[in-house]
Structure 1
Amino acid sequence: MFGDLMGMMGKLKEARQKAEETKKRLDGVLLQEEGAEGMLKVEVTANREIREIQIDKELLGDKDALEDYLLLTLNRALKKAEEVHNTEMAAVAREGMPNIPGMDQFMK
Structure 2
Amino acid sequence: MFGDLMGMMGKLKETQKKIEETKNRLNTVMVDESSTDGLLKISLTANREIKSIEIDNTLLEDKEQLEDYLVLTLNKAIDKATKVNEAELGAVAKDGMPNIPGMDFFK
What interval of TM-score do these two structures reach, taking the shorter chain for normalisation?
over 0.9
2:88 is the counterpart of 1:88: yes
- Offset, 1:102: 2.1
Alignment identity in percent? 63
Q: Quick check: which one's helix share is greater?
A: 1
The number of aligned residues is: 107
Correspondence for 1:31: 31
Q: Deviations over 1:11-58 (max 9, x none)?
A: 000000000000011111101110151110000111011110000111
Correspondence for 1:78: 78
RMSD: 0.9
- Offset, 1:98: 1.1
Unaligned runs of at least 5 residues, structure 2:
none
Correspondence for 2:5: 5
TM-score if structure 1 supplies the norm length?
Answer: 0.95
Correspondence for 2:51: 51
Higher mean alpha-carbon deviation, 36-45 vs 57-66, is at 36-45
Unaligned runs of at least 5 residues, structure 1:
none
- Offset, 1:99: 1.7
